[in-house]
Structure 1
Amino acid sequence: MMDVASRAGVSQATVSLVLNDSPGVRLSDATRERVRQAAEELGYKLVRRGQRRAPADQNLIAFIADEMATDPWMSIAFDGAREKALEYGLTVCLTVTRGDPDAEAMILSQMGQQLLGIIYGTTLTRRAEPSPALFKHRTVLLNCYDGKRKLPSVLPGELVGGRVATERLIQAGRKRVALINGQEGLDASRDRLKGYRQALASNDISFDPALVRPGNWEPSSGYEMTQLLMALDSPPDGIFCANDMMAVGCFDALRELGLKVPDDVSVVGFDDREIAQFTRPPLTTLLLPHYEMGEIAAELLIDAAGGLKGGPTQIKVECTLVERDSV
């Protein structure tokens, strides 16, 4: 499956989802066809493992979130894990510990022998320092990773997503593509910037640091940075906003300047927040795949409990392009 993933240019998780015909997975037809073609060219035969069964007395998965902020990501990931667990007659219990190791140890001890494993999720994609209690059980990290890679983790494919977003603007004929990035120092901002730069290099477009501006994930910074970008001697004709909320502010600034989206400036966001459907015009964006990440995390635990051996691994899940009318 790693060979198929490499040949198709997708993650191993995407290969698994396509070849297993997993229901409800939001992948483009082009991605599905690319995976199937790569598998056929390599002569890959999918191994059907049959129904995985955990020990009868282990029927609980603990979903521990570091926080439940205004962003919906952990709630969405929990929904994905819960739906996957229900397929196997398992229950997922959600708890928020704010990173308190004593609280985590107490909660896990209360679950006793019923505990099948733990999904530990963080709202921000980041390096985490799992508490000692998590190493005593089957644990999968979600939207985070431990520095020594001792635990398996499931993360969004931020770098590839940044590249896809930028390439979409280039394919639309945009010659000067800007990036309004998130807060500096965060994994998501770093990887989306890397993807942006990769897309420019792949299309023989020189990197111009004046076209990259730091935001703070809020509409206000999208508005402010768009004003600064459009005041340049050579303003951009395409803007990649590293999240949808900054794209909302970007739209406001462009409208105030008398510019139309996408006639004058094309805009692509990231996350596929609900608001992306209701901007004017509706926003082309990248889906942040937390639902699929939750499903995959639960499946890794169920596989391990059913006896499928596998060492620590890091799975990156594709951020699918959602086409609307802003490009």
Structure 2
Amino acid sequence: MTDVARLAGVSQSSVSLVLNGMTGARLSLETKERVLDAARRIGYELPAIRREAARTEERRMIAYMVDEISTSPHPVVSLDGARDFAFGRGMLISTYVTRSNPELEAATVEAIRRDRSVLGVIYSTIFTRRVSLPAGLEDLPTVLLNCYTKPRWHLSVLPNEVQGGQQAAEHLIALGHRRIAFINGEPWMDAAIDRMRGYERALASAGIELDTELIRNGDWLPLRGYQHAMDLMSLRCPPSAILCGNDLMAIGALEAARELGIEVPRQLSIMGYDDQELARYTHPSLSTLVLPSYEMGSRAAESLIALSSSPPADKPRVLLVEGEVVKRGSTMEKSKSFVSF
């Protein structure tokens, strides 16, 4: 690159921008041609350019695009699932964090398209939502992870949140609880909407009338779980169990119970959702519903590999991945508990 810069009479930075094809570089067409000509004259090639001649069967890299990865454990676990499955098939994962920046996404897609070692793309988001795919992915094998488009042109791997909410509520119902409160997440989010549907479905199946007095909208954080639990337990007829939309709010509910002198689970059962690592170390340990992030990542990699070798004849579909109830110390049978407030 130093030789190219000297021969073309430009900086090494300019050489890098031109040969990597970065968008947004304010270089004249003359400068770009001079750099490319110098590179050709001395036979300089980037690793990505050398891979242009790679055969299709040698494509052993999966490009994993994600909007955010550092603010929540879930996208990291999904990446682990994709990486482990890919490595088991002799492939590697190359990860790109875009923070939903359109310019960064465009530059990333451009770099991926030039890299002939790439088998396809896993396009992932930190929380379940509808997305608009960046231009350039239309003709690349692409699987969506934790997101979807409308119309659904691509296969989407999603958590089965309706089933998850239903399973979590059914766990409490099976323990004999009938007055079950629900501290949900932000009501505009797909996860909160679907978990509420599951909760309602479980109550209806058990013949329990929905009581809106027992439903609260939170923000996924411990403080709001604490505040809502304090409010719920001050009702004239408080719940015997509280289902929380995630483990963090459940931790807040546990703290509220402790301050009120309510013994969990003998006087109140509390259940979380997600099965974060910290759920194992609360006092008591937290019963919860697994958010199947690892399995989702694994299924996304599996689906992409299958898609790249034999594109499906039918229309793309949604692949729903279910979690399971993890029974720990924060829930117990109501017949073995007592309520006295």
- TM category, shorter: 0.7 to 0.9
Task: Tell me which residue corresponds to 2:22.
Answer: none
Letter in 2 for 1:134: L
Alignment partner for residue 144 of structure 1, among 134, 144, 147? 147
Q: Which residue of 2 aligns with 1:321?
A: 325
Equivalent residue number for residue 197 of structure 1: 200
- In the TM superposition, what is the alpha-carbon distance from 1:106 to its structure 2 partner? 2.4
- Counterpart for residue 188 of structure 2: 185
Q: Distance in 2 between matches of 1:308 and 1:202?
A: 40
Residue identity opposite 1:66 in structure 2: D
After TM superposition, the structure 1 = structure 2 runs for residues 158-169 of structure 1, keeping only pairs within 5 Å, are: 158-169=161-172
Counterpart CA distance in 2 for 1:108 and 1:205 is 50
| Counterpart Cα distance in 2 of 1:249 and 1:269 | 10
Given the alignment of the two structures, is residue 283 of structure 1 paired with residue 262 of structure 2, yes or no? Answer: no
Greater alpha carbon shift after TM alignment, 113-122 vs 68-77: 68-77
Q: Report SS of the residue matched to 2:261.
A: coil
> Deviation per CA, 1:260-305, whole angstroms, max 9, x where unpaired?
1110111110000111001111111011111110111111111012
Q: Is the 8 A contact 1:182 1:217 kept in 2?
A: yes
Alignment equivalent of 1:235, drawn from 234, 238, 253: 238
Partners of 2:209 and 2:272 in 1: CA distance: 22
Answer whether contact 2:110 2:136 (CA < 8 A) is retained: no
Q: Check conservation: 1:247, 1:269, Cα contact below 8 A.
A: yes
Q: Which has the higher contact order (CA 8 A, sep 6+)?
A: 1
Equivalent position amino acid for 2:324 in 1: T
The aligned counterpart of 1:72 is 73
State the distance in 1 between where 2:271 and 2:241 align: 8
In the other structure, the counterpart of 2:158 is: 155
- For the residues of structure 2 that align with 1:308 and 1:88, how far apart are their CA atoms? 18
RMSD: 1.3
Residue pairs, 1:40-59, within 5 angstroms: 55-59=56-60
* Letter paired with 1:94: T
Q: 1:104 touches 1:133 (CA, 8 Å); kept in 2?
A: no
Once the 2 structures are TM-superposed, how far is the Cα of residue 110 of structure 1 from its aligned partner? 2.6
Shift of 1:308: 5.2
CA drift at 1:116 = 0.8
SS of corresponding position for 2:283: coil
Count, aligned residues: 274
Structure 1 match to 2:263: 260
Contact 1:55 1:306 (C-alpha < 8 Å) held by counterparts: no
Aligned to 1:208: 211
Shifted more, 245-254 versus 112-121: the winner is 112-121
Q: Which residue of 2 aligns with 1:98?
A: 99
Report the AA paired with residue 325 of structure 2. L
**TM-score normalized with structure 2 length:** 0.78
* Conserved 8 A contact 1:222-1:249: yes
Equivalence for 1:115: 118
- CA deviation after TM superposition for structure 1 residue 109, in Å: 3.0
**Amino acid in structure 1 at the alignment position of 2:58:** D
Which of 200, 222, 228 is the equivalent residue of 2:225? Answer: 222
Partner of 1:3: none
Contact residue 69 and residue 123 of structure 1 kept, 8 A: no
SS at match of 1:125: strand
Which structure 2 segments of 5+ residues have no match?
1-54, 332-341
Aligned to 2:13: none
Identity score, percent: 43
- The Cα shift of 1:175 comes to 2.0
Asked whether the equivalents of residues 176 and 238 of structure 1 are also in contact (C-alpha less than 8 Å), the reply is: yes
Q: What per-residue deviation string (whole Å, max 9, x for no partner) do you get for residues 195-228 of structure 1?
A: 0000100000000000000111000000000011
For 1:178 and 1:153, how far apart are their aligned partners in 2? Answer: 32
Name which of 172, 176, 183 aligns with 2:175: 172
Which structure 1 residue ranges, 5 or more long, are not aligned?
Answer: 1-53
Whole-Å Cα distance in 1 between the matches of residues 155 and 179 of structure 2?
A: 39
Asked if residue 307 in structure 1 is aligned to residue 310 in structure 2, the reply is yes
SS in 2 for 1:136: coil
Distance between the aligned counterparts of 1:265 and 1:118, measured in 2? 46
| Contact persistence 2:182–2:214 (CA under 8 A) | yes
